[in-house]
Amino acid sequence: MVMASKLHTKDPRVPSLRNWIECANYGCCWNYWTFPPVRPCALHGRGDPQVLRMTSIFENRAPSVIAALALLFISGCAVGPDFKRPAAPDVSDYTAAPVSNTASANVAGGQAQRFAKGADISADWWSLFHSKALNDLIEQSLANNPDLKAAHAALSVARENVLAQRGVYYPSVAASFAASRQRQSGQISPTLNSNTFLYDLFTPQVSVSYVPDVFGLNRRTVESLQAQEQEVRFQMLATYTTLTANVVVAAIQEASIQGQIDATRRLIDINSNMVQILQYQFDKGYASRLDVAAQESQLAQVSATLPPLLKQSAQLRDLLAVLAGRFPNQAPEKFELASLNLPEDLPVSLPSALVAQRPDVLQAEANLHDASAKIGIAIANRLPNIVLTANAGSTAAAMNQLFTAGTGFWGVGAAATAPLFQGGALLHQERAAKAAYVQAAEQYRSTVLTAFQNVADTLTALEQDAEGLKASAAAADAAKVTLDLAQRQLQDGYAGYLSILNAEQAYQQSVISLVQAQAGRYADTAALFQALGGGWWHSADLANGNHGK
């Protein structure tokens, strides 16, 4: 029972505190203090005009009071900084000197390449090489690569975490049912009205709780998880872009190694023939043993270059099989440089658009957004937290008595907790969150600088690749002419053996250099598409975040 107080109010329109407590003793206090009041209690008279007037005041003001409280809970401020995307770098070019058309050479892959500034990248940029085998391999890789599938699964995890956290915006409702049989001590009053000490008790109940987001803790937490989801999404896009570029580059390198293997085998045949010729001339007395030994040494040196090339070829084929989600014994068919066409028109995105295209830059931006939201979380953790609760149910001694008159109960409540002293932990957590934001901002800037460096390096590499290929082609042509003339002079007896050895060595180096220069130009072309972002934004599934297959 509530003890009555001796305090009274002087305002005749408001019940005295003592009368209110007396009403509480009889269970009718809600007549005065609920919003709106239900009826005046019997203690103050049903027809008291002052009571009726007070009831009317509550009835008129209650909706506005409830609306004000709801507005306070719903539109509470979200503490902490509101994230703003970093501005694009104010630069107009990637390189100090503007890029121009590349040089050309009269060999395979020697076409001049033109840079189209401001042009966009297609989603399937690898199709510009016009190789059906390459297109099929990339399609298989996108469908079967386990790393890409793992990235898709990680995105699903992050997305579900966001949806799970959004549940804090809604009230939590739980239902329970308890059944018990118990005997109560005879030294205390019986619990039941029937004064029975041995009884059954059945209680079905519904409980509701709600945490108003007054200071934005829930909103900042959801914002943080959404930023983390974007981090994972752009990580998946980086995996996608890296996978397609790695398949193209690995195929080009495998074709290059195969070309070098073929050239090396031809050189081995040439040197073997020269050994046979010298051995014959030695037997006839026209050549010395020194000449034969020198040619055998040359043959051995050329032959020694073949096993490393075969090893690289096998490793690249194993790599292509794994990238496509296969086992090494299921490697695809061999590629040849002759089966690839060099793209002649190369798009070069504007510098201001690069930061919106590169997955690694966008991932760093999402990481910065996450750090910003965590500052708000750290601040909100230092502020009061409010919890609203309500429950209703029925308690009876028999199942068939549940939800009958007199068995129901209900309750509402509110609780507010605020941290007063935690040894400075919350303060230092807030400072750590702010320091993490500075760290994320510098990491973002570093990522942007690296992205611009990648594009600049690739543009320069393409220009120099063309010059290198032109020089390699000229060197190979000259070496071939020199070798042909030296062989004819040797057959006619007008040339010495040292000149043949020198011609063979020059030809070997020029052929291998030519193949390497051709492959380097193809590979750097693929690297440019990767450096510019890979064109994923033109894929409907990737751009819309629909990562399902």
H, E, C per residue of 124-136? CHHHHHCCHHHHH
CB-hemisphere CA count at 13 Å for 458? Answer: 21
Neighbouring CB atoms inside 10 A of 495's CB total 16
Task: Report the amino acid identity of residue 224.
Answer: S
**Helical ranges in 184-305 per DSSP H:** 217-284, 289-304
Element (H, E) at 33: helix 30-33
Cα distances from 319 to residues 132, 249, 383, in angstroms, run 19, 11, 55
Task: Report the amino acid identity of residue 53.
Answer: R
> How far is it, in rounded angstroms, from Cα 530 to Cα 221?
34
Q: What is the DSSP letter of 2?
A: P
Tokens at 82, concatenated: 């509101």
129 and 496 Cβ atoms separated by less than 8 Å:
no
Tokens at 277, concatenated: 């010729």
In tens digits, the chain (549 residues) has pLDDT values of 333 333 333 444 334 433 433 333 333 333 333 333 334 444 344 444 443 444 444 345 545 544 544 555 554 578 999 999 999 999 989 998 888 889 999 888 889 999 999 999 999 999 999 999 999 999 999 999 999 999 999 999 999 999 999 999 999 999 999 999 988 887 777 777 777 888 889 999 999 999 999 999 999 999 999 999 999 999 999 999 999 999 999 999 999 999 999 989 988 988 888 888 888 888 988 888 998 898 899 899 989 999 999 999 999 999 999 999 999 999 888 888 888 999 999 999 999 999 999 999 999 999 999 999 999 999 999 999 999 999 999 999 899 999 999 899 999 999 999 999 999 999 999 999 999 999 999 999 999 999 999 999 999 999 999 999 999 999 999 999 998 898 888 787 777 766 777 788 788 889 899 999 999 999 999 999 999 999 999 998 887 765 444
User: How confident is the model at residue 112, as a pLDDT?
Assistant: 93
22 and 4 Cβ atoms separated by less than 8 Å:
yes
- List % helix, strand, coil for the chain (3-state, nearest 5): 60, 10, 30
Q: What is the DSSP letter of 169?
A: G
CB-hemisphere CA count at 13 Å for 331? Answer: 16
> How far is it, in rounded angstroms, from Cα 537 to Cα 549?
17
Q: What is the DSSP letter of 103?
A: P
User: How confident is the model at residue 546, as a pLDDT?
Assistant: 57
Do you know the residue count of the chain? Answer: 549
**Residue listed under structure tokens 């790393």:** 147
Please state the separation of Cα 190 from the chain's center in Å: 63
Cα distances from 459 to residues 131, 242, 520, 528, in angstroms, run 24, 19, 13, 7
User: How confident is the model at residue 185, as a pLDDT?
Assistant: 80
Tokens at 176, concatenated: 């329970």
Handedness of CA 142, 146, 151, 157 (dihedral sign): positive
102 and 462 Cβ atoms separated by less than 8 Å:
yes
Contacts of 414-422 with C-beta under 8 Å, sequence gap 24+, read: 414/386, 414/387, 414/388, 414/389, 415/386, 415/387, 415/389, 416/384, 416/385, 416/386, 416/387, 417/384, 417/385, 417/387, 418/383, 418/384, 418/385, 419/381, 419/382
> How far is it, in rounded angstroms, from Cα 342 to Cα 523?
10
Hey, which bits of 144-237 come out as E strands? 172-183, 198-210
Task: Report the amino acid identity of residue 522.
Answer: Y
User: How confident is the model at residue 202, as a pLDDT?
Assistant: 94
389 and 173 Cβ atoms separated by less than 8 Å:
no
Report angle CA 455, 456, 459 to the nearest 5 degrees.
85
> How far is it, in rounded angstroms, from Cα 326 to Cα 61?
73
> How far is it, in rounded angstroms, from Cα 278 to Cα 272?
10
Element (H, E) at 507: helix 497-531
In angstroms, how far apart are the furthest CA atoms of the chain?
145
343 and 454 Cβ atoms separated by less than 8 Å:
no
Task: Report the amino acid identity of residue 152.
Answer: H
Task: Report the amino acid identity of residue 129.
Answer: F
Per DSSP bridges, beta strands 114-117 and 198-210 are unpaired
Nearest to 356, CA basis, from 231, 133, 537, 484: 537
3-state secondary structure 375-399: HHHHHHCCCCEEEEEEEEEECECCH
Neighbouring CB atoms inside 10 A of 410's CB total 11
pTM higher than 0.75: yes
Tokens at 336, concatenated: 């040849």
Backbone dihedral angles phi then psi of residue 89, each to the nearest 5 degrees: -60, 140
Task: Report the amino acid identity of residue 455.
Answer: V
User: How confident is the model at residue 435, as a pLDDT?
Assistant: 98
392 and 410 Cβ atoms separated by less than 8 Å:
yes
Ordered by where they begin, the domains of the chain are 17-74 (no CATH), 114-168+214-543 (1.20.1600.10)
Cα distances from 449 to residues 85, 239, 351, in angstroms, run 17, 20, 11
> How far is it, in rounded angstroms, from Cα 141 to Cα 139?
5
